[in-house]
């Protein structure tokens, strides 16, 4: 008891110091009252990356536009009309020269002619530019044969026609006329045996001539 009473004066004199020490060591929340926070501090800040745009997806994917033109389909009546039209068209040769010309042809009098030209669309001239048209007294002569005659038979008839003139004609050209659908034979007198035509002499353009053949007589023993 005596000990406790001796401590009372000590406690009374040290109380203010203990109170100050307690205030210094207390947490901040217990030492002072917080001020009201400004609402601007916690307001949302603008984004640094700019506004975010959202894309609205379409309700459906648009399909490609439909073609405005329609494909016309041939009817049975149109097919029948075409077949009837074909029956009334004139017949034409599918191929101008179905067979190659023979290298030699023999006329009806047994004279043999040799092939010297094959071409299309170019003919020998009727004037003095043609080396086998070498005697003005005897001009070129011409005849034709129907398309029904085979090509090689028409060549033989053309050679025979050339030899049947007042004096024998020893050069010829024969071509097929696409517009007339006939074989055309033209013979030249070739009065001098030494006169012969070359490929360069076939210089007269004729788009209707297809094909074109040239033959001349070559004797083994010319006079």
Taking residues 9-17, what's their average pLDDT? 55
Two tokens at 90? Answer: 């004139």
Two tokens at 76? Answer: 């049975």
pLDDT at 119 over 50: yes
pLDDT at 101: 92
With bands split at pLDDT 50, 70 and 90, how would you rate the model's confidence at 128? confident
Using one digit for the tens of pLDDT, what is the confidence trace for 37-62?
454 544 555 555 555 555 555 555 55
Read off the pTM: 0.56
Q: How many CB atoms lie within 10 A of CB 31?
A: 10
**4-28 as b/e, with b when 16 or more CB fall inside 10 Å?**
eeeeeeeeeeeeeeeeeeeeeeeee
Two tokens at 54? Answer: 């959202």
Using one digit for the tens of pLDDT, what is the confidence trace for 93-107?
544 445 889 999 998
- If one compares 27 and 212, the residue with the highest pLDDT of the two is 212
Using one digit for the tens of pLDDT, what is the confidence trace for 150-203?
999 999 999 999 999 999 999 999 999 999 999 999 999 999 888 889 888 999
Q: How many CB atoms lie within 10 A of CB 34?
A: 7
Distance (Å, rounded) from C-alpha 64 to C-alpha 81? Answer: 38
pLDDT at 63 over 90: no
pLDDT at 12 over 90: no
Q: Which of 179, 180, 184, 203 is nearest to 140 (CA)?
A: 184
pLDDT at 76: 66
Annotated domain spans of the chain: 108-217
Q: What pairs with residue 215 in β-bridges?
A: 115, 172
């Amino acid at each position: 008891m005596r000990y406790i009473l001796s401590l009372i004066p000590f406690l009374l004199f040290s109380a203010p110091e203990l109170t100050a020490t307690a205030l210094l060591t207390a947490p901040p929340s217990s030492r002072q009252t917080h001020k009201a926070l400004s609402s601007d501090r916690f307001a949302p800040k603008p984004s640094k990356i700019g506004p975010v745009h959202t894309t609205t997806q379409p309700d459906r994917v648009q399909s490609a536009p439909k073609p405005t033109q329609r494909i016309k389909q041939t009817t049975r009546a149109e097919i029948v009309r075409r077949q009837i039209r074909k029956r009334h068209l004139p017949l034409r040769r599918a191929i101008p020269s179905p067979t190659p010309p023979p290298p030699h042809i023999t006329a009806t009098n047994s004279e043999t002619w040799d092939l010297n030209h094959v071409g299309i669309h170019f003919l020998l001239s009727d004037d003095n530019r043609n080396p086998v048209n070498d005697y003005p007294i005897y001009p070129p002569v011409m005849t034709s044969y129907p398309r029904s005659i085979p090509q090689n038979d028409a060549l033989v008839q053309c050679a025979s026609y050339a030899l049947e003139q007042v004096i024998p004609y020893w050069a010829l050209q024969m071509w097929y006329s696409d517009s007339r659908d006939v074989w055309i034979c033209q013979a030249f007198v070739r009065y001098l045996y030494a006169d012969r035509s070359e490929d360069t002499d076939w210089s007269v353009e004729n788009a209707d001539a297809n094909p074109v053949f040239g033959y001349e007589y070559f004797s083994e023993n010319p006079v």
